[in-house]
Structure 1
Amino acid sequence: MFIYVVKAGDSLFSIASKYQVNMDSIRITNGLQIPNIVPGQDLLIPTNVYIVQPGDSLYKIGQMALVPVETIKLYNGLHTNNLSLGMRLYLPPRTKYRAANFSYLTPTTPARDIELINQFADSNSYYGVFEYHISNDGTLSPLYLHSINTLSRQKQVAPIAVISNLTETGFSSEVARSIISNPTIRQQAVNNIYNVVKDNNFAGVNIDFELLKDYDAADYVIFIRMVRNRLSPEGYTTSVALPAKTDDTTPWTKGYDYKGIGAAADFVFLMAYDFHHGGGEPGPVAPVNEVRQTIQYAKNHMNANRIILGVPNYGYDWTMAEDGSVISARAIAVGDAVNTAMSYQVPIQYSTQYQQAHFEYWDALGNRHIVWFEDSRSRARKLQMVVDYKIKGIGIWQLGLSFPQSVHLVRHFLSKRIVI
């Protein structure tokens, strides 16, 4: 396969004809509900044969196919970089990196749960089942699992119980503090987590305590170590979701001791996104340089084989005022962002600096919107980082948010490591 960026005047028919690919296969691979594609839109073309077009070079084709130039030359018996118009090049599969990927999913209906479990099982080693709310006394909320854990295990995906400090008003640092700072409640919380994991046939736990303060750092490491010490003897894993951290000076990440947590847990999920979010100004959600810095910082504080790079299946749509200030913002799935651009027939731009897609549109009320989101090119860059840094795998927040091309790209770069 290769990534094609739509040009002005293109149609699905013309692209399919140019590359001699079935038009419906392009539509299905990219999850297209409407045919009116727009300039700048990225499409995965599902074929292993590339037909050389005017202006092509081996370098350009290698970038589109995500395959090294020398590999293309080797498989096609090429001794020079010279190409001729209409030449058919075989696009060989990449050498896949063996990874243990982790994706979050939220139970909804039995039918939808089954659909998601089956659709993504061959590209995931873990499903983080989101989530059990923890109270300030260490008790856990109920979670209706249907048959998620049984089905996941049948597909050789380890079901993981996600425990968070999320409340009706958002993530609560006070709830987390009340648990991790009190030895009695802390022990009770550990016992409750163990019981949930054991009683519901989970393979482990993922702790997602967000908005911790700097004075929580040491207690949080103690808590994670206690959880692991309770679970590990019976073969259960302990993982931790961590906010993106690139240095030791940023105030809102001082509550997370990467070195301590990296040693206490079996592995971590780096939430390398929301560098711009709904509560701030428009901008790239997962810019490439900041994501790279997050991985490098983590690698400096823990073993690479304990790091999962978390990536977003979403972006944000900011509604702007006339003076350029933000009126409101909402998270938007990647597929919905692309559908919005297609519906309003506006071109999609791509920032080479941030490696993120973006566009603007005006709604029916005359409001200007700015949208930034992850696309196939962005996702490919993140997957290459997994390979280059030799980390444990990639992680998705979250399954159920439409990003049709993502699973194809994961399969292109990575092979599944079975952990159960």
Structure 2
Amino acid sequence: MFIYVVKTDDSIFSIATKYQVSMDSIRNINGLKTDRLVPGQDLLIPTNMYIVQPGDSLYSISQMSLISIDTIRLYNGLQSDILMAGMKLYLPPRPKYEAEGFSYITPSTPEKNQLIVQTFAPINTFFGIFEYHILQDGGLSTLNDQQLIRLVRENKVAPLAVITNLTPTGFSPELTRRVLNTPEIRERLINNIYNLIKSKNYAGVNIDFERIHESERDLYSGFLRSLSERLRPEGFYTSVAVPAKTSDNISWLKGYDYGGIGAAVDIVFIMAYDWHETSSPPGPTAPIGEVRKTIEYALNHMRGNKIILGVPRYGYNWTMANGTVDSARAVSVSTAIETAMKYQVPIQYSTEYQQPFYQYRDETGKRHIVWFEDARARAQKLQLMVNYRLRGIGAWQLGLHFPQSGILVREFMIPKKII
């Protein structure tokens, strides 16, 4: 398999002919709903034989196939780097890294639940079922999740109950402060989480408290430690989602003590995304340099075998007015590509950030800027997981369509199963 970037005047027919694969195989592996393509769109090509094209080099083929130049040389008995157009090169399977997959899922209809679980169960160890939110008195909201939990377990994935500090107005640091600073409420919340997990047949919990203030830093780590001490004796997992952090000097992230959190829990899901989002100017959602710095910072505070690298299945579409953001919305990877197709604008790719982007004008003349994740960007993050020997990789969230992602996960890793 390799990643092909669509060029001007390409078609599925011409690409299939060029690499001697069927058109249906290209459509199926990339989840294409139409044969329309745009320059800059990336496609997975399902073959282990690469036919050299004019202008190719071992370096460019290595980048496309995610295989080192030395490995390509070795398997093809190449004595020099000179390539001739039409030459066939064997692309050997990548060595697989044994790791865990951890993805978030939201309950839906029984039919949609079944489709998503059966599609993604083979590449996931854990599903975080989103979400229960905490109440002022330490109680928990309700969630219609029984059918989904049963389905997840039948497919050999461990379900984790996601507990958040979400309120109707967003994540609430005030609610978290009240719960963490009041011992009886904090203890009640721990008891309620324990009872929820035990009564509903969850494998554990995923705590996703966002916008924690610095004043609650130690209280939050202590809460996680107490929760873990309550759950661990019965074999339940305690996991936590934390925002990406690259240093100790970022004021709004000082509430997250990576060292204390890492010591308290079994799994740390690092949300390595949203460097740019709806409230920011346009830019890359998950730039590779910042993701790398986040991993390196985390490894200075906790063991790699606790870290799940969280990656996005989405991007953002910013609507601009007079050079500033008028509005913005999240879009799935598939929606981002379909929008580029609709307006027939080429997709560009930032090698600095390892993220695709493009601009277009809508029917009313408004300018839009879109940054998102694609197969090239995902491959780079999977390689980071391998290079840094992390526990695994995870995604927000499975309802966002990104058909190439699961194929790439299988290229890089063998998912561990615990049930």
Q: CA deviation at 1:170?
A: 0.6
CA distance in 2, matches of 1:45, 1:60: 15
Task: Name structure 2 gaps, 5 residues minimum.
Answer: none
Q: Are 1:190 and 2:190 counterparts?
A: yes
Q: Are 1:269 and 2:269 counterparts?
A: yes
Q: Are 1:346 and 2:345 counterparts?
A: yes
**What SS does the aligned partner of 2:185 have?**
helix
Moved more, 127-136 or 149-158: 149-158
1:84-233 to structure 2, matched below 5 A, reads 84-233=84-233
The aligned counterpart of 2:404 is: 405
The aligned counterpart of 1:369 is: 368
**What SS does the aligned partner of 2:10 have?**
coil
CA distance in 1, matches of 2:281, 2:310: 22
The aligned counterpart of 2:257 is: 257
Q: CA deviation at 1:88?
A: 1.6
Q: CA deviation at 1:150?
A: 2.1
Q: CA deviation at 1:307?
A: 0.5
CA distance in 2, matches of 1:83, 1:146: 58
- Contact kept, 8 Å, 2:164 with 2:208, in 1: the verdict is yes
1:310-349 to structure 2, matched below 5 A, reads 310-321=310-321, 323-349=322-348
**What SS does the aligned partner of 1:100 have?**
strand
CA distance in 2, matches of 1:401, 1:245: 25
**What SS does the aligned partner of 1:107 have?**
coil
The aligned counterpart of 2:358 is: 359
Number of aligned residue pairs: 419
Q: 1:315-371: CA deviations, max 9, x gaps?
A: 0000000x2011000000010000000010000000111111000010011100000
Q: Are 1:14 and 2:14 counterparts?
A: yes
CA distance in 2, matches of 1:136, 1:45: 52
CA distance in 2, matches of 1:147, 1:49: 44
The aligned counterpart of 2:378 is: 379
CA distance in 1, matches of 2:122, 2:161: 20
- Contact kept, 8 Å, 1:204 with 1:236, in 2: the verdict is yes
**What SS does the aligned partner of 2:378 have?**
helix
Q: TM-score, with normalisation over the residues of structure 2?
A: 0.99
The aligned counterpart of 1:304 is: 304
- Contact kept, 8 Å, 1:110 with 1:146, in 2: the verdict is no
Q: CA deviation at 1:75?
A: 2.2
CA distance in 1, matches of 2:92, 2:131: 40
Q: Are 1:24 and 2:58 counterparts?
A: no
CA RMSD in angstroms, aligned pairs only: 0.9
- Contact kept, 8 Å, 2:76 with 2:89, in 1: the verdict is yes
**What SS does the aligned partner of 1:309 have?**
strand
- Contact kept, 8 Å, 2:146 with 2:200, in 1: the verdict is no
Q: CA deviation at 1:237?
A: 0.5
After TM superposition, which residue ranges in structure 1, 4 or more long, deviate above 6 angstroms? none
CA distance in 1, matches of 2:368, 2:109: 33
Moved more, 3-12 or 71-80: 71-80
- Contact kept, 8 Å, 2:382 with 2:412, in 1: the verdict is yes
Q: CA deviation at 1:80?
A: 2.7
The aligned counterpart of 2:291 is: 291
Q: Are 1:238 and 2:242 counterparts?
A: no
Q: 1:237-273: CA deviations, max 9, x gaps?
A: 0001000111111111001000000000111000010
Moved more, 6-15 or 146-155: 146-155
Q: 1:184-230: CA deviations, max 9, x gaps?
A: 00000000000111111111100000011110101001110111001
Q: TM-score, with normalisation over the residues of structure 1?
A: 0.98
Q: Which amino acid in 1 is paired with 2:308? A: I
Q: Which amino acid in 1 is paired with 2:183? A: P
Q: CA deviation at 1:81?
A: 2.3
CA distance in 2, matches of 1:356, 1:53: 25
1:22-61 to structure 2, matched below 5 A, reads 22-61=22-61
The aligned counterpart of 2:80 is: 80
Q: CA deviation at 1:155?
A: 2.0
Q: CA deviation at 1:76?
A: 2.2
CA distance in 1, matches of 2:136, 2:238: 21
CA distance in 2, matches of 1:130, 1:72: 43
- Contact kept, 8 Å, 1:356 with 1:378, in 2: the verdict is yes
Task: Name structure 1 gaps, 5 residues minimum.
Answer: none
CA distance in 2, matches of 1:47, 1:16: 11
CA distance in 1, matches of 2:194, 2:146: 20
- Contact kept, 8 Å, 2:245 with 2:297, in 1: the verdict is yes
Moved more, 175-184 or 341-350: 175-184
Q: 1:76-97: CA deviations, max 9, x gaps?
A: 2333323222122121110011
Q: Are 1:395 and 2:394 counterparts?
A: yes
CA distance in 2, matches of 1:143, 1:262: 28
CA distance in 2, matches of 1:101, 1:284: 24
**What SS does the aligned partner of 1:147 have?**
helix
Q: 1:90-131: CA deviations, max 9, x gaps?
A: 211100111011000001111111111110111111000001
Q: Which amino acid in 2 is paired with 1:256? A: Y
**What SS does the aligned partner of 1:9 have?**
coil
